[in-house]
Amino acid sequence: MKRWLLIAGRLIIAAIFLYSGYSKLREPWFQFEVSLESFKVLPEYALEPIARTMPWLEVLLGVALLSGILARWFALIASVLLAVFVGAAARAYSMGLNVDCGCFGSGGDPLGPKWFAEHGGMLVLALAVTVGAFVMSKRRLV
């Protein structure tokens, strides 16, 4: 049962990252650069390289999570990425910045309780999958 829950959680996280990367790739990369800039976290020279590569990394991460190869490590990377993203959003929200997160392309929900509930839920799920995957991996090795 736990194993199936873990697989289900992993597939949900995979789908989220695949959709997120795909949504960004459907738009010009400059759109994501504009979204990244609105967080006022990154230095200007870092915006373009991240805007160009992040969507592809998200797709690769989604594919890796779907495949199940080294799932615990990729789940860990997904958790870290989500944690960084939610942290940056929390900072922007506390500063009252007008941010379009660009998570699933442009024009998404503005930062607010609904946004944090959704993305916090994703983060909790990714963390649960990561911990579960490491625990199961350890048990198999014992």
Q: How far is CA 129 from CA 58, 62, 141, in A?
A: 17, 14, 18
Stretch that binds another protein, among 32-40, 76-84, 88-96, 121-129 (CB under 8 A): 32-40
The smaller minimum CB distance to another protein, of residues 24 and 123, is found at 24
Joined tokens for residue 6: 């873990």
Residue 107 per-residue DSSP state: S
Q: Is residue 8 a contact point for another protein (CB under 8 A)?
A: no
Residue 82's nearest CA partner among 33, 12, 3 is 12
DSSP code for 109:
P
Over its C-alpha atoms, the chain yields an Rg (Å, rounded) of 16
Site for another protein in 68-97 (CB under 8 A): 68-71
Indicate whether 38 belongs to the interface with another protein (CB under 8 A). yes
**Nearer to another protein by C-beta: 93 or 120?**
93
Among 22, 73, 85, 134, binds another protein (CB under 8 A): 22
Nearest to 29 by CA among 105, 109, 108: 105
Q: Is 5 in the site for another protein (CB under 8 A)?
A: no
3-state secondary structure of 113: helix
Phi-psi sector, 27: left (phi>0), alpha (psi -120 to 50), beta: beta
CB of 13 to another protein, least distance (A): 15
Q: Which stretch binds another protein (CB under 8 A): 43-51, 79-87, 88-96, 119-127?
A: 43-51
Q: Which residues bind another protein (CB under 8 A)?
A: 22, 25-28, 30-31, 33-35, 37-38, 44, 47-48, 59, 63, 66-71, 98, 100, 106-107, 140-141
